[in-house]
Amino acid sequence: MRTKDLRTKAALTTLAVVVAIIGCSSEPDKPKPETGAQTASKPAAASNDYETGRVAFQKAYINARGWAADAKPYRLESQYTKDAPVAQGKAGVWRAVFASATRNAAKPFVWSGVTAPDAPAAGVSPDAEEYWSPSNSNTQPFDLNFLKQDSDKAAAVAQQHGGDKIMKKDPSTPIFFQIEWVPKENKLKWHVIYGASVASAKLRVAVDATTGDFLKVEK
């Protein structure tokens, strides 16, 4: 009888061990901590790229010459995006418009360096071709030799003529830049505009795009 009890006890002990082993092996695998190599293999978040007008213009110009060998610029302007260092004359989006006499057409090219809901895709993107007339005084192409001063210089001059006061009062004020060729004056101008639009601007400052000289406060 004692021998039978011992056998029963041994059998129960063995069963308990088996159950314990099964229970351990059925636990879900715990996630392993990431190693340095695994962390490094994850792609880094894309960073925004901000450029001055001349730098962005050169990138667009390469594409414009692919569209038409005689492409010449007549407009360059920035688009404001949040967090852009606009007081330094930089923007995340620039739009350049080129004219081709052989095609009687104009074509905009947009450079974008930012990822934002209100920004175009990164890189240089062409826009729709449109009719262009060489007799239109508002769309006369300018010689690239006139564009010697970049938008950072224009921004610095504008800051010295009222822009610094506006930005000190409200650092979130949008700033955007425009290039204008004035045939009657034979002059290329930077317009530095403080505000969401030309019409609602708090301040507009004109700067000579060739010499970098202050021209006038337009508003």
pLDDT tens per residue, range 7-54 = 444 444 444 443 444 344 444 455 555 554 444 444 444 689 999 999
pLDDT average, residue stretch 58-66: 97
Greater confidence, 19 or 139?
139
Mean pLDDT of all residues in 91-114: 97
Which residues does residue 18 pair with via DSSP β-bridges, in sequence order?
none
Give pLDDT, residue 219.
83
- pLDDT the model gives residue 119: 82
> Could you give the 3-state DSSP secondary structure of residue 3?
helix
Average pLDDT over residues 161-186: 96
Q: What is the pTM of this model?
A: 0.78
**Do the Cβ atoms of 115 and 201 come closer than 8 Å?**
no
Give the pLDDT confidence score for residue 44 in this predicted structure. Answer: 42
**Percent of the chain surpassing pLDDT 90:** 74
Inform me whether the pLDDT recorded for 212 exceeds 70. Answer: yes
The 3-state DSSP class for residue 4 equals: helix
Write down the pLDDT at residue 120.
Answer: 86
What size, in residues, is the chain?
219
Rounded CA separation 66/103 (Å): 13
Has residue 178 got a pLDDT over 90? yes
Per-residue model confidence (pLDDT) at position 46: 63
Rounded distance, CA 58 to CA 66, Å? Answer: 13
Over range 150-166, report the average pLDDT. Answer: 98
Per residue in 65-84, pLDDT (tens digit) is 999 999 999 999 999 999 99
pLDDT value for 47: 86
How far from chain centre, in Å, is Cα 121?
9
Residue indicated by tokens 């425009």:
178
CB 75 within 8 A of CB 86: no
Tens of pLDDT, residues 114-127? 987 778 889 999 99
> d(Cα 86, Cα 114) in Å, to the nearest integer?
14
| CA 155 from centre of chain | 18
How many angstroms separate the CA atoms of 72 and 105, rounded? 11
Q: Is 55 exposed, middle or buried (0-12, 13-18, 19+ CB in 10 A)?
A: middle
What SS3 class is residue 171? coil
Please give the residue that has the higher pLDDT: either 7 or 160.
160
